Amino acid sequence: MDPFTETIDLLKPAALLWKQMEARGPWAITFPANPAVVFCLVSAGDCVLRMPGAQAWPLRTGDFVLLSAPDAWTLGDSAGTAPRPMAALAKSPQAALETLAAGLVARIGEPDAPLAARVIGGHFSFAQADAFLLHRLLPRQLTIAAGAPGSDRFRRLLELLGDEATSERPGGFLVVRRLLEIILVEALRHGAAAPQAMDEGLLVGMAEPRIAAALRAMHGAIERPWTVADLAAVAGMSRSGFAEQFSRRLGCPPMDYLLNWRMALARQALREGKARLSEVADRCGYGSASAFSAAFLRVEGCTPSRYAAGFRPAA
């Protein structure tokens, strides 16, 4: 697998849809800060996205927004409408999820006014133990306009999502969740094709062919005792030039990235509990179980055996 696919696979994204909302007349809703990855799709009408310290961003039918660990943010008909808190929609995210599962829609604003916007929104959950990978993968904000170049495939998925979310077909909620997981991957692919939207991270690194070659080599043989000089040779760059480019694009030095990736693979293996400690050490590029245990303790703050014990089922 390529580094992008491996990272997605390790994170195990799952979509939790919390609301489908129809707004009529003047309206504005403020959503609280969220440590997760939040998304919203404008399936009909238009609205305005407001983020702290940023200009209001107009959204049209078919526009999709992904926000990574956002501060409080607001959707509304205009930048001037006073917002209501999200609590006005439902008593809890779970109650809102149950509302959608029952085929219902949250309606706000003036009941008799024309439809101003229909928004499908929610968040993605990930394997929390590997949350650091999220920072390497996702931009703080990714907006994909309905008519953006190269977004045809993405638009078709969004059309399927909008159709499924507004229908009452059997199993519709399950289909919506699976579509959202595919949409997450497609959104990140779109971000990879437009890396100028991101300051740093895996997708920015993969957009540079020489850095991408080093990343593929590293991921393809994680057990190898890589050095910066080895990776620079794969990239066809000088050692200093490679280290500078890698750090600028990935947001961390090459050896830090390698260590973090090895620890992510180790955590996954320890959670699954199918391999012996020596096998995990060998697979992650350590010459002995003791060397691996020392590195794991330094990074994670606990021994591998104690970490693994937290995921064993009770007798």
Fold of 208-309: Arc Repressor Mutant, subunit A (1.10.10)
For 232-284, the pLDDT digits (tens) are 999 999 999 999 999 998 888 999 999 989 998 999 899 888 889 999 999 99
pLDDT tier for residue 75 given thresholds of 50, 70 and 90: very high
The whole-number pLDDT of residue 104 equals 59
Q: Report the CATH number of the 3-195 domain.
A: 2.60.120
Q: For all residues of the chain together, what is the average pLDDT? A: 82
Please give the Cα distance from 237 to 214 (Å, whole number): 10
Under the banding of pLDDT at 50, 70 and 90, the label for residue 220 is: very high
Find tokens 């440590």 and name the residue.
35
Q: Where are the domains of the chain?
A: 3-195, 208-309
pLDDT of residue 98: 46
List the one residue out of 121, 123, 120, 111 whose CA is nearest residue 27.
111
Q: With beta carbons less than 8 A apart as the criterion, state whether 246 and 256 touch.
A: no
Q: Which helix (H) or strand (E) holds 115?
A: strand 115-125
Residues ≥6 apart with Cβ < 8 Å to 214: 231, 232, 234, 235, 242, 246, 254
Query: Sign (positive/negative) of CA torsion 241, 244, 246, 249?
Result: negative
Q: What is the CA radius of gyration of the chain?
A: 22
For residues 153-182, average pLDDT: 79
Amino acid 93: pLDDT:
46
* Sheet of 37-45, strand order: 106-109, 14-24, 115-125, 37-45, 64-68, 141-144
Tokens for 91, please give them: 């008593």
Question: Of 67, 4, 11, 1, whose CA–CA distance to 39 is shortest?
Answer: 67
Query: How confident is the model over 94-99, as a mean pLDDT?
Result: 45
Lowest mean pLDDT among 105-109, 127-131, 157-161, 205-209: 127-131
C-alpha 314/C-alpha 57 separation (Å) is: 50
The span from the CA of 254 to the CA of 260, in Å, is 10
Predicted confidence band of residue 96 (pLDDT cuts 50, 70, 90): very low
In tens, the pLDDT along 51-73 reads 888 888 999 998 888 888 888 99
Helix (H, G, I), strand (E, B) or coil at 234: helix
Q: In the prediction, which pLDDT does 199 show? A: 65
| Contacts of residue 42, Cβ cutoff 8 Å, sequence gap at least 6 | 59, 60, 61, 62, 63, 64, 117, 118, 119
pLDDT at 1: 65
Reported as a single tens digit per residue, the pLDDT across 3-48 is: 888 888 777 777 665 677 889 989 998 988 887 788 888 989 999 9
Beta bridge partners of 64: 41, 144
